[in-house]
Amino acid sequence: MVSIKGLFSSSSTRKAAGPDTPFARRFRNVSSALGWALLAGCLVEAVLWILSKNSPAAESVFDWFPHQPLAAFACFSLIGVGVLSVQKIPYTTRLFQFAAGVLIILIEFFSVTLGAGGVWGMDRLTAWVVLLLGFILASGGSRIPLIGYIRQMAIFAVFFLCALVLAGYIYEGEDATGGLVAFLHIPWTSGLMGLVAGHALLLQHPNFGVMRVLSGEGFGSAVMRRLLPTTIVLLLLLGWMLAIGEEMHLYPASFGESMYAVLAISGFSGMLVTTAIYLNRLDGDRVSQEAALRRNQQQLQSILDNTTSIICMKDLEGRYLLVNKSFCRAVGRTKGECVGKHVRELFSPEITEGTLERNRRALERGEAIEAIESISSSPETPARTFLCATFPLLDATGFPYAVCDVYTDITDIKRQEEEIQHLNQSLREKTRRQEAANNELEAFSYSVSHDLRAPLRHISGFGQLLSQRNKDILDDKSRHYLSVILQSVDRMGALIDDLLAFSRASKVDLSWKRVSMQETVEDVRTELESHWAGPRVAWDIGHLPEVEGDPAMLRLVWVNLLSNAMKYSGKNPVPRISVQCVPNGTEEDVFSIVDNGAGFDMRYVDKLFGVFQRLHSSQEYEGTGIGLAMIRRILERHGGRIWAESSVGQGASFYFVLPTTKSAADKALEA
Amino acid sequence: MKLKTILLAEDSPMDVELTLEALQLHHEVIVVEDGVAALDFLHRREKYANREAGNPDLILLDLKLPKLNGLEVLAAIKKSDLLKTIPVVVLTSSKEQPDLKTAYELGANAYVVKPVVFEKFMEAVRQIGQFWANLNETPPVTPGAPSGLHG
């Protein structure tokens, strides 16, 4: 049974008197509006009453707008204020409401006992109506359910009386006199005000008694909200139409009654049909909602059962409310054997203690907590590592009613992480060793290159001195030997110089700048041609872009590539060298150097870029076999690459790709 | 006309011989074999305590010297008020950037890599001697200092 005591206390406990449905809220608003209407009505009446004292015009208004005695006016005003004051329901306004109700009852008491006439003069029916309304107002704040029900009964009594008064006006005009009719014959404004006040007071407590049926969310309530106003309006309208018809003598009274019955049946049948359609629609909605709910539940259940994570829900004492399949697998029991059991009935004391401790912390914090735990399901099996997320489940009022645990087995991930760490460690170690070896190698080659130069210089120097000093006494054979020695020294000097250059190209820090390839190529070409003794070269140099790189290193690339092209096409009577560039996407350019020289055999193409690798003899073409290896090293350090295509006697084509910017080069180097 | 004096700091007797081959016709060359001896000579101490006063007109400095290396000798020369005006030409096998950079930072007047081929070597050394010892003019040394080997 619902108590109205909630109406006296704070809003949170008022909720407990019944759900605050959208209709309940709307009814309270209607109640307020009716309160204002009541006050406005009283005000209009008061103004007219004062004016009517000395204005004939106002007097004539009262012909159709009958005035009420001062007592009734005061009572209705008090009720209006009472209705408005109760909306927020603080304690003082409820006291005020109670006082107003008592005051009205007192006024009525005097009005009835002092009899008719003067300002107190009130019709008996008006006096009873107002007396009832006074009681209703005074009892509006009562916490006792019985008083609440009596109050609603009183409101219905007011409705009944006022409705009779108004119906009398509508159906019979002002002709009828005597008996019950005389008792009911009070100003229609009193009836209307009573009706308005009754409604306002009824709607004040939309969650209580009969009103709960009207404001509820169930199908019955929905149907009642549709049918009640329609029924009232339909019957009133029918009655009024019949009365008019009879008054105008369109038909006799007996025909009127039969017509009333037929029209009522038709009207109600129509209402029932629309209600049935409405109910069917509501039912359809409910069925589809239920289906959606079931689908949701199935989805959740399916997720719960198919996840590899272990999921369980416990009440606040630690008893299992829900477990998923993974949970059952982990503990080796069925769902039925788990649900309802306490943690300690399924697990060892240590695990129980850890679980309950985590639950306590999650409840204290009111949010999810995470922990990594090592759990062994039995002493024989090795412990596995779990990531445990624990969070409280809250009800509508924000109080926790359960705790949920989600365990994710991260043993394998952890092992993989450790393996990766181990691999990284050994990779770092290898890289470090590699770097150390590289550094040693660099130092070695540097030192060798240097220390080789000194004896070479000495051989060259003293050989030369020897040949000068003994120019005249040496025979041809000896001179030949000396010349071979000196030539070999020259060649070894060139080899060492190139080896040094190669070593430098590998280790010197690059200084990144914008480099115009066009200018670099023109510059290198001019320089190479100044030492060139072969036939005139026909150059075809296309548009070459700017790139970012080390200017000196890129210059070395061009010096080597162009001097190679000149050297190998130098035996052709008309050497042709074409240098072109096409962009490859937005981040790199492809440069090509094509000559019509000796070319090379593609079978040996993989030897082309190796250190000291040559595809032609020194007699045919001079060279140390370092140039292309150095080019490749420089391009690689710029994030680029080089390759070549050729066939013997058909010239050679060298292609290299270079990133256009340092950031593109860095990206290429990372890849 | 008196021959200009060149101090050659070089530990390799063969390089010394080749360098002398290039220089000795036109210059007076004093040879020291390590860094300490070079500084001893310049400061007239130890076995050079009794040498004639005055600075050489040019110092040819190898970098790989025993005891004190070429760069250390260079630093000492350029720090000394008496010696810093003497032109120092580094004559070495090293083409390495760090050596080049440090040498110039320490105040070397020139840096020449010894060519392997004898003719080129001779040519280079002769030109160095011709330019730095004969053509180049140096500012007068601090007053009170020895005026020069040739007085």
- Tally of domains in chain B: 1
Local structure of residue A342 (DSSP, 8 states): B
pLDDT beyond 70 at A599: yes
Q: Identify whether B100 is part of a domain.
A: yes
Q: Identify whether B55 is part of a domain.
A: yes
Kindly list the distances between the CA atom of residue A535 and the CA atoms of A81, A650, A651, in Å, as whole numbers in the listed order.
119, 18, 16
Residues constituting chain B: 151
- Give, rounded to a whole angstrom, the gap between the first and last alpha carbons of chain B: 13
Contact A246, A268 (CB under 8 A): no
Per-residue model confidence (pLDDT) at position A503: 79
pLDDT beyond 60 at A196: yes
**pLDDT band at A16; cut points 50, 70, 90:** very low
Which residue did the predictor score with more confidence, A620 or A258?
A258
Query: B116 vs A456: CB contact, 8 Å cut-off?
Result: yes
Per-residue model confidence (pLDDT) at position B11: 87
Query: A460 vs B95: CB contact, 8 Å cut-off?
Result: no
Which residues of A are less than 8 Å from B95 in CB distance?
Answer: 500
| pLDDT, tens only, A109-128 | 776 666 554 445 677 788 78
Per-residue model confidence (pLDDT) at position A202: 86
pLDDT mean over B94-99? 78
- Give residues 426 to 485 of A whose Cβ lies within 8 Å of B: 446, 450-451, 453-454, 456-458, 460-465
Per-residue model confidence (pLDDT) at position A58: 65
**pLDDT band at A440; cut points 50, 70, 90:** confident
* Partner residue opposite B118 with nearest CB, options A454, A460, A500: A460
Per-residue model confidence (pLDDT) at position B145: 46
Which residues of A are less than 8 Å from B96 in CB distance?
Answer: 446, 504
**pLDDT band at A182; cut points 50, 70, 90:** low
Is B117 an 8 Å CB contact of chain A?
yes
Instruction: Identify the helix (H) or strand (E) that includes residue A580.
Output: strand A576-584
The secondary structure of A7-72 as a DSSP string is GGS-HHHHGGGS---HHHHHHHHHHHHHHHHHHHHHHHHHHHHHHHTT-HHHHHHHHHS----HHH
pLDDT beyond 80 at B142: no
pLDDT beyond 90 at A313: yes
pLDDT mean over A234-247? 82
| pLDDT, tens only, B23-71 | 888 889 999 998 999 999 999 988 888 888 888 999 999 988 888 889 9
Q: What is the CATH number of the domain that holds B49?
A: 3.40.50.2300
Contact B22, B129 (CB under 8 A): yes
Per-residue model confidence (pLDDT) at position A117: 46
For B15, the closest chain A residue by CA position comes to A458
Contact A169, A36 (CB under 8 A): no
**pLDDT band at B150; cut points 50, 70, 90:** very low
Is B114 an 8 Å CB contact of chain A?
yes
Q: Identify whether B123 is part of a domain.
A: yes
For B96, the closest chain A residue by CA position comes to A504
Which residue did the predictor score with more confidence, A379 or A291?
A291
Under 8 Å CB pairs connecting chains A and B tally to: 54
Per-residue model confidence (pLDDT) at position B1: 57
Q: 3-state DSSP call for residue B92?
A: strand
B117 to chain A, closest Cα gap in Å: 6
Which residue did the predictor score with more confidence, A290 or A379?
A290
**pLDDT band at A565; cut points 50, 70, 90:** very high
**pLDDT band at A170; cut points 50, 70, 90:** confident
CA distance A333 to B32: 96
Q: Identify whether B116 is part of a domain.
A: yes
pLDDT beyond 80 at B94: no
- Give residues 22 to 41 of A whose Cβ lies within 8 Å of B: none
pLDDT mean over A468-481? 86
* Locus of tokens 């004559």: B91
The overall pTM is greater than 0.80: no
Which residue did the predictor score with more confidence, A643 or B66?
A643
Substitution target from B20, B99, B116 for chain A, most A beta carbons within 10 A: B116
pLDDT mean over B98-123? 88
Q: 3-state secondary structure string, A558-596?
A: HHHHHHHHHHHHCCCCCCEEEEEEEEECCCEEEEEEEEC
pLDDT mean over A642-660? 90
**pLDDT band at A618; cut points 50, 70, 90:** low
What is the residue type of A209? G
Q: Identify whether B127 is part of a domain.
A: yes
Query: A458 vs B115: CB contact, 8 Å cut-off?
Result: no
pLDDT mean over A543-556? 91
| pLDDT, tens only, A37-83 | 888 888 888 787 777 777 776 667 666 667 677 777 788 888 888 88
pLDDT beyond 60 at A322: yes
Q: Identify whether B67 is part of a domain.
A: yes
pLDDT more than 70, % of chain A:
89
Per-residue model confidence (pLDDT) at position A111: 66
pLDDT more than 90, % of chain A:
24
Per-residue model confidence (pLDDT) at position A5: 37
From the list A33, A30, A48, the residue with the least C-alpha distance to A189 is A48
Q: Is A424 exposed, middle or buried (0-12, 13-18, 19+ CB in 10 A)?
A: exposed
Domain housing B31: 4-135
